[in-house]
Structure 1
Amino acid sequence: MTEDQDDRTGRDPAPAVTRSIRLLDLLAQRGTMTLTELAGGLSLAKSSTANLCLALEAADMVERVAQGYRLGRRTAELGGAYAAQFQQVREFYAVCDASPVLRHELVQVAMLDGADALYLARHEGNARVRLGTPLGSRLPAALSATGRALLMAYDDARVGELLADRVPFPKLTDNSPTDLSSLLERLADARERGWALDSEESYPGIVGVAVPLEPWAPGDPQLALGVGMAAAGTETARIERVATALKEAAAQLTNPFSDAAKRGPRTR
């Protein structure tokens, strides 16, 4: 099938835009790629792919390097602008800095995107831990503490619907749950405690603690606050101390005029 036939069959109203988005997705997933690799990934002629790259390069959406093409600085600006739309993300850094506990920790904000936790903001603190979750990266919601904190907002039936096409879950570590029943047990414990725990289930050697964050305004996404810590030497007392600090931060980041604030702390 030719490119024109493919466009007519799919009835794409803006094929150039669609192809550009697919090209950016490829670079986001794979990193730097040559023109030949991009053309193959898009199933396009090299000449068509080169034209897309030229247009995106002019807009700083991609940049040309010795190894090929990679994402441009404009994509980072857009990602930051997206996150900055939300009041809670804008205030997140100040709240972390003011916390005697969180100021020293690696704290992240994530939202649920399909079956994944998508990371929007990051407070480095002075922790030694450096997780592989830079802004815009994802982890399976079933395995990460932030993902589970996001899933806590749903009942078990809805969780099953959201994750139906991900079962069995990927086994990222020896501790990763692979079936839905194991996840639901962890979510039940999380709802009881008021915070989610990831005990080396998404990264070896990393313990995660996270709490849900109520949307600030109607239409805002459900967010979660999470901390990643080195498993070695991390005792239960520290985990609970961090969890308490996260809950306090979440309370500060909850709109005082929202229904959640009027209800007060949830009973679990």
Structure 2
Amino acid sequence: MTRAVALLEELARQGRPLGIAELARSLDLAKSTVANLCAALEGTRMIRRVDGRWALGHKVVELGQGFLACTDVVGEFRRAVDTCTVVSRETVLLAVLDDVEVVHLARHDGSQPVWLAGEIGKRMPAVVTAVGKAMLAALPPDDLDDRLALVRELPVLTEQSHRTFDALRGDLDDTRARGYAVDDGEHTEGVTCLAVAVPGRDTPTSVAAILLTARLTPELRVGLVSDLTALAGELSRPTRF
């Protein structure tokens, strides 16, 4: 079971069809073992053949939709974001924290969408995203230390990405002080993300607005942070996931 889950996670992480040899190298398993896993997963429609390689199957989508149907926060997010005058014009994300990765649960596309961001179900390193830093900054100190210990090396995606853990921790301190997290081109150059943690959830959760950096005026920043804070407050109650 553990190996099968690892195989599914690798296909999701790569985002493209993979051959038996590639999967065997990535998972450090024998090709025969990977072939047997693929055959079993194909039988349950968890994966499918694509030109002789393997990709995630439609059953994964069904399971994901089943999870979202049991998660009231997604419906709450969709209803609440429409009531926010400023942030509803932008691309708005709802995300949760899984160890040291963020997982996107929902996305709202306003009149100024940023199409590069926020595929539903996508995983990203928490340390280079505003949604991730908002949630990390809200963790108890011991929990934060335990999670950061899982990060062997900080991902450097742009010139603005943090290169040391001291710089990252300083950023998290600033996030706590100001009440919201900022990704100013750390993940994608020319794109800014502002995020606020949702208090009171069993699973660390945050909401964020994503926009082109060139559009972010001081006045717009104030309006976005105000709406994100209000949105986080609307979502702030224990959930079932």
Interval of TM-score (by shorter of Structure 1 and Structure 2): 0.7 to 0.9
Displacement of 1:80 in angstroms is 3.0
* Paired position in structure 1 for 2:96: 111
Q: Distance in 1 between matches of 2:70 and 2:121?
A: 15
Indicate how the Cα distance of structure 1 residues 41 and 154 shifts in structure 2: closer, same or farther if over 3 A, else same.
Answer: closer
Q: Using CA pairs below 8 Å that are at least 6 residues apart, which structure has the higher relative contact order?
A: 2
Range that drifts further, 160-169 or 109-118: 160-169
The one-letter code matched in structure 2 to 1:151 is L
Residue equivalent to 2:83: 98
Q: Among 67, 78, 81, which residue is 2:66 paired with?
A: 81
2:209 aligned partner, one-letter code: V
1:242 to 2:233 alignment: no
Q: Do 1:131 and 1:228's aligned partners in 2 also have CA atoms closer than 8 Å? A: no
Stretches (4+) displaced over 4 A? 39-42, 155-158
Instruction: Tell me whether 1:223 sits opposite 2:220 in the alignment.
Output: no
In 1, Cα distance between equivalents of 2:107 and 2:98: 17
**Local SS of the residue matching 2:172:** helix
Q: Distance in 2 between matches of 1:171 and 1:19?
A: 29
SS at match of 2:225: helix
3-state SS of 1:146 partner: helix
Shift of 1:199: 1.0
Offset of 1:159 from its aligned partner? 2.9
Aligned: 1:27 with 2:11: yes
RMSD: 2.3
Separation in 2, partners of 1:141, 1:229: 18
Measured after TM superposition, the shift of residue 253 of structure 1 is 1.5
Match of 2:30 in 1: 44
**Structure-1-length-normalised TM-score:** 0.79
Q: How many residues align?
A: 236
Q: Give the number of the structure whose alpha-carbon radius of gyration is greater.
A: 1
Is this contact kept in 1: 2:13–2:123, CA < 8 A? no
Q: CA 1:215 to 1:84, structure 2 compared with 1: closer, same or farther past 3 Å?
A: farther
Give the TM-score normalised by the residue count of structure 2: 0.87
Task: Kindly indicate whether the alpha-carbon contact (under 8 Å) linking 2:102 and 2:132 is maintained by their aligned counterparts in 1.
Answer: yes
Residues 1:79 and 1:181: Cα distance change in structure 2 (over 3 Å): same
1:73 Cα deviation from its structure 2 partner: 1.5
Aligned equivalents of 1:101, 1:110: Cα separation in 2:
20
> 1:74: how far off?
1.4
Contact 1:197 1:210 in 2 (8 A): yes
Unaligned ranges ≥5, structure 2: none
